Amino acid sequence: MRLEGKTAIVTGGGRGIGREISRRFAAEGAHVLLADIDGERAEAAAQEIGGAGGQATPCTADLGRPDGAQHVFEHAKACFGGRLDILINNAGIAHHGAFLELSFEDWERVLRNNLTSAFLCAQGAARIMAANGGGRIVNIGSISGQRGSYGRTAYGVTKAGIHQMTRIMAVELGPRGIAVNAIAPGPIDTGITSMGPDQERRYLERIPLERFGHARDVAGAALFLSSDEAAYLTGSVVNVDGGFDAAGLIFSYTELTTVKSDVRDPSKSD
C-alpha cells in the first residue's frame, strides 16, 4: 500500500493507460478522481475499481478548456477537502498527418487536447499543492517528443512541449515541495495506436525488449514516481519504451546486432 491515504487525480482515466494507472493507484491505497471527456467510460472505470475494493470517483470534463479543468478541481475540492497529493496528467489524443497537409484545425485540436490540457491541469494541481506544502505531478509525454518521425508534427510537438514544461515546472515548483517528472512511453498496446501487421513487425524489430509495452508498464513507472521511493527525483523524463529510443532510428534491432562497426571497409581510404 504505497499510496495509503493519498489523493490523486488521473486525467484520461476512463480507458487505456489512465485507467490502468487509476486501478493501480487505488489498489495501492489512493483515493482516485478519475477525469475523462467520456463520462460513461469514467463511471465504468470508477465502478470497476470500487468493485475491487478501491476508492475512485468519476468526473466528466473536457480538460482542454479552462472551464473543464476548473470543473475537475472543484470536484476534487469537494472529494478531497482541499488536499491533493498527486496529479497524473495523462489525457491526450493521437494524431498522424504529414507536415505539408496538416490543417490549422488539426494542429489546434491536438495542441488543445494534449498540451493545453496538460498545462491547465498541472497549473490547477500545483496551485493546490503549493498551498498545502507539496505534491507530485507526473506528465505523460511520449517518445514522439524526443525524436524525429514522419507525420508527428502536431503530436510530437505537444509531447516535446510536455517534456519541456516538466523541466520548467520542476525548477519553479521545487522550492514549493512539488516534484514534477514525465514519462515518455514508446508504443503501448492500448487502442490509441493502430498498425497493420507489417508495420507492427517493423516496429518490433526496433524494440530491444522485443514487445510492445502494456499499460501496466507505464502504471508501474507512474507509481514509482508518485511514491516515497522517488523523493529526490524531479525534472526527469523517464522513457518506458523497451529500449526503442536507445536503439535509434537507422537500423532495426536485428540489423543493429549484426553491424560490425570495428571492421574497416578497405574500398574506402583517407
What are the C-alpha distances in Å from 242 to residues 89, 163, 207, 214, 217? 22, 19, 6, 10, 10
Site for ligand NDP in 6-35 (CB under 6 A): 12, 14-18
Please say which residue, 14 or 124, places its beta carbon nearer to ligand NDP. 14
Piece in contact with ligand NDP (CB under 6 A), picked from 73-81, 182-190, 199-207, 225-233: 182-190
Measured between its terminal Cα atoms, the distance across the chain in Å is: 63
Residues forming beta bridges with residue 36, ordered by sequence position: 60
State the burial class of residue 36 (Cβ atoms within 10 Å of its Cβ: 0-12, 13-18, 19+): buried
What are the counts of helices (DSSP H) followed by strands (DSSP E) for the chain? 10, 7
* AA letter at 149: S
| From 7, 57, 113, 234, residue interacting with ligand NDP (rule: CB under 6 A) | 113
Piece in contact with ligand NDP (CB under 6 A), picked from 22-30, 187-195, 248-256, 258-266: 187-195
Residue partners of 218: CB distance under 8 A and separation at least 6: 17, 20, 21, 140, 183, 185, 188, 240
Piece in contact with ligand NDP (CB under 6 A), picked from 1-9, 184-192, 227-235, 252-260: 184-192
Q: How far is the CB of 185 from ligand NDP (least distance, A)?
A: 4
Q: How far is the CB of 98 from ligand NDP (least distance, A)?
A: 19
Q: How far is the CB of 249 from ligand NDP (least distance, A)?
A: 17
Q: Which positions touch ligand NDP (CB under 6 A)?
A: 12, 14-18, 36-38, 41, 62-64, 90-93, 113, 117, 140, 142, 185, 187-188, 190-193
